[in-house]
Amino acid sequence: MKKTPPRGMSDMMPADMALRDAVQGAIIATYRDFGYQRISTPIVEDAENLEKSEGGDNLNLIFQVMKRGDKLDEAIKDGDQLWDLGLRYDLTLPLTRFYANNHTKLPMPFKVIQTDRVYRAERPQKGRLREFVQCDIDIIGDGSPRAEAELIAVTSQALLKVGFSGFTVRINDRRILNALFAGLGFPVEQIPPALISFDKLDKIGMDGVCDDLTAKGMPSNATEALRSFMKNDDLLAALPSFTGELPEVSDMALLIDELKEVGGQNWNVLFDLSLVRGMGYYTGPVFEIVSDDFEGSIAGGGRYDNMIEKFTGIATPAVGFSIGFERIISILMERNYRPPAQKPALALLYEEQDDFVKVFGQVQELTGTYLVTALPLNTSSPGRQRARLERDGFRFVKRMSEEVSELGVITT
């Protein structure tokens, strides 16, 4: 039998889990401070929901769960689809289904936290696993730009809480992009594939984007108009020449000004016209947070006003922001980040003849001040045992018969 976990998934050592619990706890506490409520949903979703979720390339990365028993036999016999469930690839689809099923019992607007595992069947690499944790906050029922402003500000506060600063928030709007590309001369039906090429700007440069557009058969005049437009020093100010007086442009300018004032010196805000994001369900503003400590984004999100309507038939605005938990953990581990001090850890060493009731009673007395672990005393190698406990983070070690020293580790 194989001892290693499946490829793209990881076992977690106690020290790893201590860090992850502390970081996730700090993020959740920050979200709760701003009035968000936590929910949980199953890791599997109905196949039909997943296939119709407009998840972009993630739809090709779904871990499919085959039908079981007689249903599987019938599907094989009839040539039908063999799977009826799949592991969730993000937390947005489960949230929209949850809200559609429970909206009559929820507040409006609904400010919600989700921190849970998701699954994508992709090629594992640094920062990309097959099983990973996302930390999401969403606002359902608020269609105003203030919802975006709040999500970005609160997520930024959570990152500050766990030791990040100086990161950059990149913001764009799908509606602005669609209007711009139409104004530049791209046919409406060709705008989606054109945006896929444009999304690669930071990786392949403007020449690469234009080559990609040409290879896709885009009009040369539109491609050259895009190249010329991108030479403007202030892209946001230049937009009305091609988009007209869109309210989304003025909303974007106001959003950026507000976020710059809120962020101060702690984080930066940038209008990034090349930010597209791959999810097909985004309908308006999209945003990411990037850090100099990691190649790629450490958080991302956007507005998805049409997803809940697929379940309920009722138009419901929604917007969300997700922290890439695995990515921030990898950065913090490289920095040797230590969570803020908790109660000191104490090892209570007992001998074979010590009564369990007394041992447990002393553990109970000490738990108010310490994180207590009761362990049998290694009488043959007490020094080695103490060294191991110190290495594992225990500041205090005591025997049943000794007082706890507030000055450090007691010699056993």
For residue 67, give both structure tokens.
Answer: 């039908």
Q: What is the pLDDT of residue 403?
A: 60
Per-residue pLDDT, averaged over 195-201, amounts to: 88
- 3 CB-side CA count, 13 A: 0
Q: What is the mean pLDDT of residues 19-24?
A: 93
- Note whether 75 and 82 are within 8 A (CB): yes
The reported pLDDT for the residue numbered 412 is 38
- β-pair type (345-350, 396-399): parallel
pLDDT at 29 over 80: yes
- Mean residue pLDDT of the chain comes to 89
Q: What pLDDT is attached to residue 75?
A: 85
Q: What mean pLDDT comes out for the span 68-76?
A: 89
Nearest of 284, 262, 17, 309 to residue 156 by alpha carbon: 262
Tokens 């290879």 belong to 215
Is omega for the bond preceding 192 within 30 degrees of 0, making it cis?
Answer: no
For residue 266, pLDDT beyond 50? yes
pLDDT at 411 > cutoff 90: no
| DSSP-assigned letters across all residues of 71-136 | HHHHHHHHT--SEEEEE-SSSHHHHHHHHHHHGGGS-SSEEEEEEEEEE-----BTTB-SEEEEEE
| pTM confidence score | 0.86
Q: What is the pLDDT of residue 127?
A: 64
Mean pLDDT of 323-344: 85
Q: How many CA atoms lie within 13 A of 33 on its CB side?
A: 12
